[in-house]
């Protein structure tokens, strides 16, 4: 019970990765606020039916843990405020924020509509900012009142689409790249208050990604698990890292980016300077740049770009 007495928010926790993360945090002893956008429906008899968030809350309570549902949209600034307030009002504290909520609207950049771009940026990037803003303000106020560091953990969800590039996901890749920038900025800003912020790039088979992995045959890497086998892309491969980064043991880990899936965790290094060019004069001219850069890139393999495509080949073992 490494998180006994701690209170965690998990966004987008009605299904998939968020659900697995909420269950893991509860297993480790945390009070969990399960956020997932949606309103109750009606079953065949006309009775109100539970939302996915409420079903996860029921799972946690059935296992003996405290949990409450929040059905608001974290991409809405005021509803994100209400989510943080719900955690504090219900359990007296907020200690852990796991940002997971997201959507996909995949299309090539030349075919993408404005709405497809805006909606993905809105839910992923603005949703991460909104909850982070209110949690950070709470922890800062707590630290000032206490006169020292407090307990705070943020785990954000980025993606290999940002690290490696994804031709059919310019909106998603951009949002996930923005989340890494938000994470490193937040880690730096909140370090003196005792708060850590890290990002994970998970690979998992969820409702959101089912189309991405649907063409892979069973038994192949990334395909559905065979009879009696544990799915290599199950969300349960990801949730233990989220639990660990939320725990006291991870107090020295902040501003980091991890790739996680299929029994593997990889720490991503920061970008490095590949080459440096200096002008022989006071200011570069076109001709001087042409003389320096053109021969350099003539020898550099065209696939050596900022995109780290090698992360797509990472696997356990």
Active site residues: 159, 172, 176
Residue that the structure tokens 């065979």 belong to: 226
Rounded Cα–Cα distance for residues 19 and 235 (Å)? 9
Strand intervals (E) in the chain: 7-10, 31-35, 41-42, 48-49, 67-70, 96-99, 152-157, 195-202, 257-261, 264-267
Residue 237 is given by DSSP the state G
Virtual torsion, Cα 33, 37, 38, 39, nearest 10 deg? 50
Helix (H, G, I), strand (E, B) or coil at 99: strand
Rounded Cα–Cα distance for residues 71 and 86 (Å)? 11
């Amino acid at each position: 019970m490494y998180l006994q007495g701690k209170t965690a928010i998990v966004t987008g926790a009605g299904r998939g990765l968020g659900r697995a993360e909420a269950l893991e945090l509860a297993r480790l002893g945390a009070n969990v606020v399960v956020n997932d956008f949606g309103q109750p429906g009606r079953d065949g008899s006309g009775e109100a039916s539970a939302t996915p968030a409420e079903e996860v809350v029921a799972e946690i309570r059935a296992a003996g843990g405290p949990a409450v549902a929040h059905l608001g949209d974290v991409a809405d600034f005021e509803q994100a405020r209400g989510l943080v307030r719900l955690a504090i009002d219900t359990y007296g504290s907020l200690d852990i924020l796991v940002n997971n909520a997201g959507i996909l609207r995949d299309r090539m950049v030349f075919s993408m509509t404005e709405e497809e771009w805006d909606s993905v940026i809105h839910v992923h990037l603005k949703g991460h900012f909104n909850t982070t803003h209110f949690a950070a303000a709470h922890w800062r106020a707590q630290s000032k009142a206490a006169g020292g560091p407090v307990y705070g953990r943020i785990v954000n969800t980025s993606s290999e689409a940002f690290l490696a590039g994804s031709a059919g996901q310019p909106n998603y890749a951009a949002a996930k790249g923005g989340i890494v920038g938000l994470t490193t900025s937040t880690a730096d800003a909140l370090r003196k208050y005792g708060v850590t912020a890290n990002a994970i790039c998970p690979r998992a088979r969820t409702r959101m990604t089912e189309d991405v992995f649907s063409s892979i045959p069973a038994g192949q890497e990334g395909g559905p698990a065979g009879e009696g086998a544990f799915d290599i892309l199950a969300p349960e491969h990801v949730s233990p890292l989220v639990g660990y980064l939320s725990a006291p043991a991870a107090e020295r880990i902040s501003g980091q980016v991890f790739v996680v899936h299929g029994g593997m965790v990889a720490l991503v290094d920061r970008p490095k300077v590949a080459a440096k060019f200096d002008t022989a004069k006071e200011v570069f001219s076109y001709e001087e740049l042409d003389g320096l850069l053109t021969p350099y890139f003539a020898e550099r393999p065209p696939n050596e770009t900022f995109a780290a495509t090698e992360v797509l080949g990472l696997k356990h073992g």
